[in-house]
Amino acid sequence: MPEINLDRVNVEHLHDNVYRVEAVVINRGYLPTNTYIGISSKWNRKVKVELLLGKNQSIASGNKLNLISLIPGSGGTNLLSWVLIGDQGSKLTISAGSPMTGEDRKEIILQ
């Protein structure tokens, strides 16, 4: 079965209250997150990657919600990146998953 994990989550301080957040979504399972037949029939659910922002945080670049059609099995990856505006020390959460892959969450502190 596919198994989604958030890996290599990095926070880079760019300027004042501006940060770049990068995360790699990896499929550690043997099977891909979706089959090609499932994608073409629109039956399978995509992998949903969502930023859950904290108080006084906003997105300057990137999407709060990303839908990924297919991540190959056996270590296939997808890199996502955002530029955020927020107070130093504030927290946010990245959530990734689908009904077929399970869910993984990482809490991040902007530093």
Domains in the chain, number = 1
The number of beta carbons lying within 10 Å of the beta carbon of residue 104 is: 18
pTM above 0.85, yes or no: yes
pLDDT tens column, 44-103? 788 999 999 998 999 999 999 999 988 999 999 999 999 999 999 999 999 999 988 999
Under DSSP, the state recorded for 14 is E
Provide the β-strand partners of residue 106.
94
Question: What is the CATH classification number for the domain harbouring 100?
Answer: 2.60.40.10
Task: Show the domain range for 44.
Answer: 4-109
Neighbours of 1 (CB within 10 A): 10
